[in-house]
Amino acid sequence: MGLQEKLKELEDELARTQKNKATEYHIGIVKSKIAQIRRELLSPKKGGASGGGFDVKKSGDATVALIGLPSVGKSTLLNRLTNAESKTAAYAFTTLKCIPGTLEYNNTKIQILDLPGIIEGAKDGKGRGREVIAVARGVDLILVMLEATHPEQRRIIETELYGFGIRVNSRRPRVNIGKAIRGGVTINHTVPITKISDREIMATLSSYSIFNANVVLHQDVTVDEFIDVLEGNRSYVPVIYLLTKFDTIKEKPKVDFEYLPISADNKESIEKLKATIYKRLDLISIFTKRRGEDADLTEPMIVRRGISISEVCEKLHRDLKKDFRYALVWGTSVKHQPQRVGIYHILDDKDVVQIIKR
């Protein structure tokens, strides 16, 4: 039996099985097996997830991908947001490879990637779906584009992204699984746990051939999230939902998620989107300063919020961390101006940093 058939069989079995105390162990095992087969199906040697016009080099301060079904208006939007010219047309699959453009906003260069439309089954190899979703895994933000007349397209897109290991608008679960050599499995938690039982944890661990481990849950997680931790290669990406061609509908669609309305020819909707992209990327500016010189306040370094001195060193120079003694920081992240800080200090927007070397 091929992997695809095996996957289908397991998914059917999962759909048939009602969850209760008697079946939860079994369900844990089936879900783990599904995750393992998915990983095997997606491994690059089995068909590849790059090449063929999809190896676009990242540039700028952050990268955003346009994801949606064919003909929802992705290329039209790229052309409105950036200087790029991506072919647009009224038929499906106009775009066949990854087309980059640059959006300049608030002194920031944001790379936007236009991609071919994806369809149901994309993650399993339909169309260029795998290549498209592989690109989406590595970006800082995804714009999920749905036609205003068909907001239900959201389900299809999310199923495809999910099947490829992308977790939208969520964070890596705070669960530690420390493998041990002996002693069996111990399970502890620092918060009340309701979504997963000890039996389910044992079932999934055994599917991964883990028989000795110290598990600590710092968060109430589902079996699926627990498997995500075991798989380890999930990609947690923020998403903004857009309802496109808003000019073609008369009444606001009734949906249970937040979205931005977009009409390609409505400048206001495009400007609102630019501001939302910028805000959602959560970028900050910091300034570096050399000893005895003033900081150059015209040349900020654009970084994501939450960045530490350590990561700033990495960005500045390969060897800087090795020679690092301490840093002086001016700005809102410190009490005294300047203040001496260590390598794990977290910076704020508009901070000025001077690195002192050994």
Ligand X SMILES: Nc1nc2c(ncn2[C@@H]2O[C@H](COP(=O)(O)OP(=O)(O)OP(=O)(O)O)[C@@H](O)[C@H]2O)c(=O)[nH]1
Give min distance, CB of 132 to ligand X, in A.
10
Residue 206 interacting with Mg ion (CB under 5 A): no
Q: Which of 93, 198, 218, 314 binds ligand X (CB under 6 A)?
A: 93
Residue 197 interacting with Mg ion (CB under 5 A): no
Give min distance, CB of 164 to ligand X, in A.
18
Instruction: Pick what 89 binds: ligand X, Mg ion, none; C-beta below 5 to 8 Å, kind-dependent.
Output: ligand X
Q: Which of 170, 248, 332, 337 binds ligand X (CB under 6 A)?
A: 248
Instruction: Using alpha carbons, list the distances in angstroms from residue 12 to 7, 16, 250.
Output: 9, 6, 40
Q: Which residue's CB is nearer to ligand X, number 74 or number 137?
A: 74
Give min distance, CB of 251 to ligand X, in A.
16
Give min distance, CB of 56 to ligand X, in A.
16
Instruction: Pick what 248 binds: ligand X, Mg ion, none; C-beta below 5 to 8 Å, kind-dependent.
Output: ligand X
Q: Are 27 and 199 in contact (CB under 8 A)?
A: no
d(CA 204, CA 28): 5
The residues near 180 (Cβ < 8 Å, ≥ 6 apart) are 212, 213, 214
Residue 264 interacting with ligand X (CB under 6 A): yes
Residue 153 interacting with ligand X (CB under 6 A): no
Window of 52-60, 90-98, 103-111, 212-220 that interacts with ligand X by CB under 6 A: 90-98
d(CA 111, CA 249): 30
Q: Which of 82, 244, 288, 354 binds ligand X (CB under 6 A)?
A: 244
- Kindly report the three-state secondary structure assignment for every residue of 43-79: CCCCCCCCCCCCCCCCCCCEEEEEEECCCCCHHHHHH
Q: Is the sign of the CA dihedral 315, 317, 318, 321 positive or negative?
A: negative
Q: Which of 94, 276, 308, 310 binds Mg ion (CB under 5 A)?
A: 94
What angle, rounded to 10 degrees, do the helices at 74-81 and 267-281 form? 80
What is the DSSP annotation of 122-179?
GGGTSTTHHHHHHHHHTSSEEEEEEETT-TTHHHHHHHHHHHTTEEET-----EEEEE
d(CA 190, CA 258): 32
CB atoms within 10 A of CB 88: 17
Residue 238 interacting with ligand X (CB under 6 A): no
Residue 82 interacting with ligand X (CB under 6 A): no
Residue 300 interacting with ligand X (CB under 6 A): no
Instruction: Pick what 93 binds: Mg ion, ligand X, none; C-beta below 5 to 8 Å, kind-dependent.
Output: ligand X
Q: Torsions phi, psi of 248, nearest 5?
A: -90, -5
Instruction: Pick what 63 binds: ligand X, Mg ion, none; C-beta below 5 to 8 Å, kind-dependent.
Output: none
Q: Which of 32, 76, 204, 207 binds ligand X (CB under 6 A)?
A: 76
At residue 262, the 3 state secondary structure works out as: coil
Residue 354 interacting with Mg ion (CB under 5 A): no
Residue (of 213, 230, 210, 167) closest to 32 by Cα position: 230
Residue 245 interacting with ligand X (CB under 6 A): yes
Nearest residue to ligand X on Cβ basis: 117
Residue 117 interacting with ligand X (CB under 6 A): yes
Q: Are 107 and 64 in contact (CB under 8 A)?
A: no
Residue 80 interacting with ligand X (CB under 6 A): no
User: Residue 282 is which amino acid?
Assistant: D
Instruction: Pick what 264 binds: ligand X, Mg ion, none; C-beta below 5 to 8 Å, kind-dependent.
Output: ligand X
Interface with ligand X (CB under 6 A): 68, 70-76, 88-90, 92-95, 116-117, 244-245, 247-248, 263-264
